[in-house]
Structure 1
C-alpha cells in the first residue's frame, strides 16, 4: 500500500509544534529519545515506517503521540489484551482518550467506545488482530477515516519469525480495503529476513526503517551449564538463599526476579518448591484463570522484591522498570525469544542479571514442543478432501474441523496460509455463526430511534429473533433470504444499533472465510507439497533452537553474538558476560551444549506402541501420531480418547521426536529438511 506522504515543510512544522506541546503537557516528557524522534518524524511526514527498537525503548509513544495530531483515527493492532488495557488506563490518567475493543469489555463500554470514536473524542483505538479481520469490525468502523495503522509485535506476520501468527498476514489486505493512509510496524525482535518481509508487505522503503541494537548495556548476560539435579540449588543460590555449613539458609537478595520455564507443570512444581524454601513465589501461565492472572501481574508490578515464575505467556506488554534478575530455568526457544524475554529486565537503566541455567536435556523438550502442530500425512489428506468439495466461497469452523481430522486450529490456519501462497485460496474476513441480540427497549422504540438508513434491516432482525437458552438468537442467513437484505447490511445495522445503545450484541462460533482462486485438481501432489512445507517449518523451528544452543557455547562475547544475529555490527566486547569474564577459567567456555542423542529407541517403547496401535488402530494409523504419543506431544485425537492418561504416553519424552519417528518408520536417518 502506498504511504500517505509526503507533506510540505510548513505542515510538518505545525505538526511538530503541536507534538512538542503534547509531549510536555499531556505525556509528561521533556524530550524524546533520538530513535523515537526519528520514527515520529517519519510518521508525521506521512511515510510508512518500520521501527525495530529494543524492549523498553518507548515504542508505544511512537504511535500514541502522532495519534493526537493526525487528522483521522489511529488503530493499534496488538495481540496483547493486557497491553491494551494498561496503555488505555495510563493514557486516560493523562487526559488522553483511548479505547480498546476486546472480548473482556462490557456491552456498555463497547457502545461508549465506538460512540467516542464516532464523535472524535477518541482518536486512538486498540484491537486484537483476530478482531480487526472480521465482519463486525468493518461494520463498526463504518466510514471513519483511518490515518495510521500501528502494528505492534510486527514480527508475527513473517513466516521467518519466531512467533508467526496467520492473522497477521491478513493485515496488508485489510489495510487496503479500509483505505488506511499509512502504516507503522513495530517490533523489538526482527532479524534481516523478518524486516524484509515486513517492509515488502507494507511498501516501507528501507530508508524509513529505524533500527537500534536489541541489546542494552545494563543487561549482564550469563549462561551457566548445570546438571538437572543441581539446578534448583543453583537457582536458590542466585536468589540469595545460600546454604551455610550448618545447613541454614541466608536471607534473600533484594530486587524483583522473573524466572522463565517452558511448561505449566514445571511452573507449578517449581513455585511450590520455592514456597517450601521460604520464598513467596508467584506462578503465571495460560492455565491460570484470567482474574487470578491479572491479580498476580498487579502484585508483581507493585512489588520491588517479588519472584514470579512464568511461561512465555507472561511478559509481553508488561512494563515493570525495576526487574533486577531474569533467570531462564529452561532455555528460550530461539535467540529472538531470548532477546525479548531478557529485554523485560532493567528498563530503568540499572543493572539486570540475565542468566540461563542450561540443562542439556531441556533442548529435547523444546524440540519436541515444535512437533505439536506438525500435521500427519493422514490429517493433510483428510483436510484436502474436505476442501475440494467446498463452493467458490466457504466458511469453516477451524476448531470443529480440527477435532474431526486430528489437527489443531492453529495448524489448519497455517496450512490454509500455505494454500494461499500456492495460489489456491484467498482469505476472507472471519464471520460469526451465532449472533445474539438482547433488546434494551420496546420494539417500536428501537425502530424509531435507529438510524433511518437501518430501519428496514432493524425491523427484519427484530422479526427474526428466536428465543434461546442465552437470549434471542438471529439467523442472519434466514433473515437475509426472507427480507432480501444483504448480510453485510444486516450486520451494519446490528452494529450501529448496538453503538446507539438500543440493544446488546453477543457473538460466538467463529467461522474463517476463504474463496477459491485456483481449485485443487491434483490432490496427491498438493498433499505432498503441504507435507514438505509444514515439515520445513518444523525444521526451521529446530534450526532456531540450534542457533540458540550455538550461542550458549559462549565462544565469543554474548553481546556481539546477539548483535550479529539481528544484523548489527558490534566489535567491542561487553566485558560483563560469561564469555568475557570466564573464558580463562578452567571450567569456563566454550561449553558443550549439544545433548548426546541415544543410538536407538529401545524395545520397551516399541512394545508400548504395539499395544496402543492394537487398541486404537484408527488413531495410530500414521507414524507421526505414533511418535507424538511416545514423546508425550498432545493431539486432538489423544484428548478425545484421554490417551494422555495412558501409562505409555510420553514414555520417550526425553528422546528427540525425529529420532522416534525414524525408528518407527524404519528409516536410518531422522527427519531432514526438504525443499518444495
Structure 2
C-alpha cells in the first residue's frame, strides 16, 4: 500500500460540510507578531490597527491576483490574519469551504508582511504542508505551479533526480511551499535538511489535523510526531486544518500545538440543501430492492458507500445487471484502475460508484446528487464527511442510509479485532527488545523490524501494531523511528542493462553486476552481500535508481524494514515486562471501547428524536443559538442593490447565506462581497425579508 493511501480501515477517514457558526475572537485579544515577539495588539493604538488592516490588505490582494476571488468566505480572512500575525491557529471548515487558502495565501504573503514589519530578510522562508493524501498534494502543487507559485511535493512517486532538484530548491530558498506526508517525518535526512532552510520554516500547515487525536475517528500514529517536528525544525507558527473535530479532538489539537481557544475558527457541518434520511431493514438482502427503487427516482451522480471490498464488487455488478452505469472502487484495486474510475466519475461518464471509504478524500465534484450508505457509517464524523460530498453546487441533494442489525455486527467485528491478547503483546515486546542490534550512522544502537512479519507472528493487526510502536516512542521514550529501508531490490533488463554495467567502471556498478542474480525475467540484487565489500547502501541504491531513470532497467523495491534507534535501556526483567504489557493493554482496551462508542453514536444519530442536522451540529460542539440574530436590514438592502433579481426570494436568501447555484455562478455573485455576507443569520428570517422585497417590487 502507498504511504498516502487511506486504505479501507473502518475507523480511518474524515470530513463534514458547509455553513456557519464560529468562535469570535474578542476585540481585545493580544497577538504575537510574525517573528514571534509576542507584542500585544489590543486595538487601542493606531499603529496596531494599521498593521492589522495592512496584513489583511496583503492577503486580499493575493486572493484577487493569484486565486481570482474578490472576497474571502466564512472565517478565511480571520484565519489568514491570525496566521500572518504569528499565531498558532486551528481551522475547522467543512470540505469545499476553502481550508487550503488558509495556508496557501500566508505562504506567498510572508515577503510582503516582512516589509510591513520593517524586517529585511534575504529569503522569505518556506511553508511545509503535512498531508496524508498523495493525490491531493499533487493536485494542489500542480494548481499552484500554474499560478506561478513555487510549490512541490516530496512523495514516494518522485524519481531520484526529481528529489535532488527539490532538495536544491529548498537549499537555495527557491520554494515557497513543500508538501509531504506524516510518514516522511521518520526520515532523518529530510528532517535534518529542513533545519537549515534559508529564511527558516515560516509556517507548518497540518492538514487532516484530527488524525493527531488518539480519540478521534481516524487516529494515525505518525501524526503524533508532527508536534515534535515543529520544535525540531523551529517552525515559526502552525495552522491545523480539519473538516471534522469534536470538542474533545479540537482540545487535543490545541494542546499539541499550543493553540489559544480564541484562534479556533469553526463552521457548522450543516447545509440546508442536503436532505438527510435513513431507513431500517431486517436484513442486508432487503436493502437491494430499496436501493434499486431509490436510484430510479433520484437522478444524477451517486456514491454508494459499503463497508467491505467484496460488497463493493458484488453490489456494483448487481447494479450493472439492472441497467445502471456503475463501477466498484476499493483500496484492493490497482492504482491505474482506481484512477480511471475516479476520472470517469468526475467527468460524469460513470454515474454510480460503489465504494469503500477509500474513495472520496480529495474529490471535488460539485454536482454529486446522491450519497447512499448501503451499510451504516463507522462514525458520525465519517458520515458527516461523506454526505458533505453531495450538493456542493448548492442545489438540492439527497443522502440515504440503510441500517440493519448485520451492520452493527460488522462494526463490532472491526472494533474487537484490533485488541491483541496479553500473550501476543508480551511476545511482541520480547521479540522486539531482545533483537540483535546494528550500529547506526553515528554509532547508536539500531533495531531493524519488518512490521508485516511481526503482525503475522504475533497476531496483531497493522493499525494497532503501529499504535504500539508510536506509544513506545512518544510516551515511554524507548525507541525512535528513523529512516526505513527496503530489504529487497529486483529489476528487469530493458535491453540496456549489460551494456550500461559494462561501461560503468564505478565500484557500485561492479557490485550490482556481481550480486544481481537472474531468475527467468527478474534479477534479484543482494544488497547486503554488496555492502559487505565496504560500499554504502545509499550509493548502491543511487546507482540502481540512476540506471532505472536512464531506462536500462525497471526497478522495484520491496520488503520495507522499519528501523528504530534505541533511546534508553530497554525492559529486561519479568516485572518490567509485565508492567509495560499491563499499561499498553489497558490503553488498547480503551481504544476498543471508544471504537464501539463511535459506532453507537451513529445508531443514536439515526434513531434519536432530533433531526439529523441538529444532532450533527451538537456532535461537533455547535449548539443552536437560543435567540436568533436580528436581521441586518442594511445588509439586506446592500444585496438588493447589487443584485436586481426580484422573481425569486429564495435565490436572494441563498446569496446572503452563501449557497452556490447555477444562477449564482452565471451572475458571478459568488465573487461578490455580498455573497455569504449574512451567513450568521437564520435562513428562514432572510427568506421572509427577501419575500417582502420581491412582493413590493
Distance between the aligned counterparts of 1:389 and 1:123, measured in 2?
Answer: 45
The 8 Å contact of residues 257 and 305 in structure 1, kept in 2 or not, is answered as: no
- Measured in 2, the distance between the counterparts of 1:573 and 1:55 equals 28
Q: Does 2:408 correspond to 1:379?
A: no
| CA shift digits 1:484-532 (9 cap, x unpaired) | x9x9xx79x979x99xx99999875241424344632422232233222
Q: Which whole-Å CA distance do the structure 2 matches of 1:97 and 1:437 have between them?
A: 35
Cα deviation code 1:113-155 (max 9, x no counterpart): 3344444443111111112321242355462232111111111
Q: Quick check: 1:179 aligned with 2:219?
A: no
Aligned to 1:335: 380
1:315 to 360, 376, 399: 360
1:482, CA displacement in angstroms? 5.8
**What's the CA shift for 1:573?**
13
Say whether the 8 Å CA contact 1:560–1:572 is kept in structure 2.
no
2:570 maps to what in 1? Answer: 519
**CA deviation after TM superposition for structure 1 residue 542, in Å:** 0.5
The correspondence for 1:5, drawn from 36, 41, 52, is: 36
Q: Does 1:161 align with 2:216?
A: yes
Q: What is the Cα deviation at residue 340 of structure 1? A: 1.2
- Which of 516, 521, 525 lines up with 1:468 in the alignment? 516
Shift of 1:203: 1.2
Give the Cα separation in 2 of the matches to 1:476 and 1:154: 43
Give the aligned length. 542
- Structure 2 residue aligned with 1:196, among 230, 233, 251? 251
Match of 2:619 in 1: 565
1:404 partnered with 2:457: yes
- Which structure 1 segments of 5+ residues have no match? 242-252, 448-458, 575-676
Separation of aligned partners in 1, 2:478 and 2:59: 44
Map of 2:598 onto structure 1? 544
SS of aligned partner of 2:405: coil
Contact 2:62 / 2:109 at 8 angstroms: preserved in 1? no
Using the TM superposition, give the Cα deviation of residue 572 of structure 1 relative to its aligned residue in structure 2, in angstroms: 8.2
Q: Does 1:354 align with 2:399?
A: yes
Is the 2:480–2:567 Cα contact (8 Å) retained in structure 1?
no
Q: How does 1:86-105 map to 2 (within 5 A)?
A: 86-105=139-158
Check whether the contact 2:185–2:225 (CA below 8 A) recurs between aligned residues: no
Cα contact 2:55–2:81 (8 A) shared by 1: no
Q: Match of 2:277?
A: 222
DSSP 3-state at the match of 2:586? helix
Q: 1:560 & 1:474 partners in 2: Cα distance?
A: 60
Q: Deviations over 1:67-123 (max 9, x none)?
A: 112321111111111111222222233333321122223344334433444444431
Question: What CA distance in whole angstroms lies between the structure 1 residues aligned with 2:429 and 2:313?
Answer: 40
Shift of 1:60: 1.1
Q: Contact conserved, 1:148 with 1:183, CA < 8 A, in 2? A: yes
Q: Any idea what the Cα deviations from partners look like across 1:579-608, whole Å, max 9, x if unmatched?
A: xxxxxxxxxxxxxxxxxxxxxxxxxxxxxx
Instruction: Say if 1:554 and 1:52 are closer, same or farther in 2 by CA, change over 3 A.
Output: same
Relative to the length of structure 1, the TM-score reads 0.72
Please give the alpha-carbon distance, in whole angstroms, between the structure 2 residues aligned to 1:277 and 1:340. 29
Is the counterpart of residue 126 in structure 1 residue 157 in structure 2? no
CA distance in 2, matches of 1:398, 1:573: 55
Specify which of 402, 418, 422 is matched with residue 471 of structure 2: 418
Report if the CA contact (8 A) 1:162-1:334 is conserved: yes
Superposed, which structure 2 residues align to 1:74-113 within 5 Å?
Answer: 74-113=127-166
CA gap of 1:385–1:477, structure 2 versus 1, over 3 A, is: farther
What whole-Å deviation, never above 9, does each CA across 1:540-581 have from its counterpart, x for those lacking one? 10111111111110311211111111111126899xxxxxxx
TM superposition shift of 1:34: 2.9
CA deviation profile, 1:468-489 (whole Å, cap 9, x unmatched): 356977669968x969x9x9xx
In the alignment, which residue of structure 2 is the partner of 1:528? Answer: 582
TM-score of the superposed pair, with normalisation by structure 2: 0.70
Matches within 5 A, 1:501-650: 509-517=560-568, 519-520=570-571, 521=573, 522=575, 523-570=577-624
CA RMSD of aligned residues (A): 3.7
Q: Secondary structure at the match of 2:275?
A: strand
CA contact (8 A) 1:53 1:211 kept: yes
Q: Which structure 2 residues correspond to residues 641-660 of structure 1 after superposition, within 5 A?
A: none
Can you give the 5+ residue segments of structure 2 that lack an aligned partner in the other structure? 1-31, 40-47, 111-123, 438-444, 518-522, 629-697
Q: Secondary structure at the match of 1:357?
A: strand
| C-alpha separation in 1, matches of 2:174 and 2:92 | 31
Residue 259 of structure 1 contacts residue 329 of structure 1 at CA under 8 Å; is this kept in 2? yes
How far the C-alpha of 1:320 sits from its partner, in A, is 1.1
SS of equivalent to 1:402: helix
Is it true that 1:430 corresponds to 2:478 in the alignment? no
User: What's the CA shift string for 1:391-433, capped at 9, x where partnerless?
Assistant: 6653422222223222233222212233346525243333325
Matched position secondary structure for 1:313: coil
Q: Is the 8 A contact 1:133 1:174 kept in 2?
A: no
Does the CA contact (< 8 Å) of 2:182 and 2:223 recur in 1?
yes
Change (3 A) 1:240 1:554: farther
Deviation at 1:446, TM superposition (A): 12
Tell me what 1:239 maps to. Answer: 295
Cα 1:554–1:546 change in 2 (3 A) is same
Does the 8 Å CA contact 1:423/1:517 hold for their aligned counterparts? no
Using the alignment, how far apart are the partners of 1:477 and 1:215 within structure 2? 60
- Relative distance call for 1:61 and 1:506 in structure 2 (3 A) is farther
Whole-angstrom distance in 1 between the partners of 2:186 and 2:272: 39
Separation of aligned partners in 2, 1:179 and 1:442: 44
